[in-house]
Amino acid sequence: NEIDYAQLAHLTSGMSGAGLAGIFNEAALLATREGAEHITTDHLIRAIELVVVGFKDTARRLSPEDRMTVAVHEAGHAIVRSALGGHARVSRISIITTSLGVMGYNLNTLEDETGLLLRTRDEILGDGVCLRGGRAAEQIMVGRISTGASDDLRRANRLLYEFITVYGLSEALPHRVLHDEDILWSEYTTQRVDEEIQRLLGESYARAKQIIERNRALASILADRLVECEELSSAELQTLLCQVQTD
């Protein structure tokens, strides 16, 4: 009766049975270490974070300057995601480093599981904009960019590559499926794909910066709270994010 299955379902949408089993094993270990009589929702949520981003590594402390950069970066992701809306909602933000080398993260939940079944062109491009929100916030609010966006860039490039070559959603190369091993690309087609990825990356970054500029004051408040608390979730986070001016 103490477990919020609806919240857990949103957090674990798309996970395999093995992944869910791993989460329950981690939750059981957490409960045992704390001397709890049974597993609670909090144990399960913390277990999900352990599986997704690793253990909290409190021994690794960032400098005050880097902490603010990470806070700004994560605030940028959250604000862009909230501005664009869609199926996902930001449910937790952390700037505590983890055992997997993650310096900060947004934990998103799906409001509607049907969002996993079919994706529209605009939804995929929106995901690309969200991935650029961290660096956009760094550039606008800190005045410089860092290496913190390396994984964002990797994911954005992969997303747009599949957008073009797997799903045929690009206006420059419409209705083309190019990822089949039996299809040989010409040098011209390869160049067109590279150019289209670069164009879409530029457009997504420009859109992310527009959203951050529009919500700059709120982004500053959110970043300051992250520096102070290191983690934000639940009511306080939603109170802040509901103030985001939508795109």
- Catalytic positions are 74
Rounded Cα distance, 151 and 114, in Å:
26
* DSSP string covering 69-131: HHHHHHHHHHHHHHHH-SSEEEEEEE---BTTS---EEEEEES-GGGGT---HHHHHHHHHHH
Which residues, 6 or more positions from 132, have their beta carbon under 8 angstroms from its beta carbon? 80, 149, 152, 156, 201, 204, 205, 207, 208
Rounded Cα distance, 3 and 77, in Å:
29
- Answer whether 85's CB lies under 8 Å from 108's CB: no
Which residues, 6 or more positions from 182, have their beta carbon under 8 angstroms from its beta carbon? none
Rounded Cα distance, 94 and 232, in Å:
7
* 3-class SS of residue 1: coil
Q: Is 85 left (phi over 0), alpha (psi -120 to 50) or beta?
A: left
Q: How many CB atoms lie within 10 A of CB 210?
A: 16
Q: Looking up tokens 């902490």, which residue turns up?
A: 67
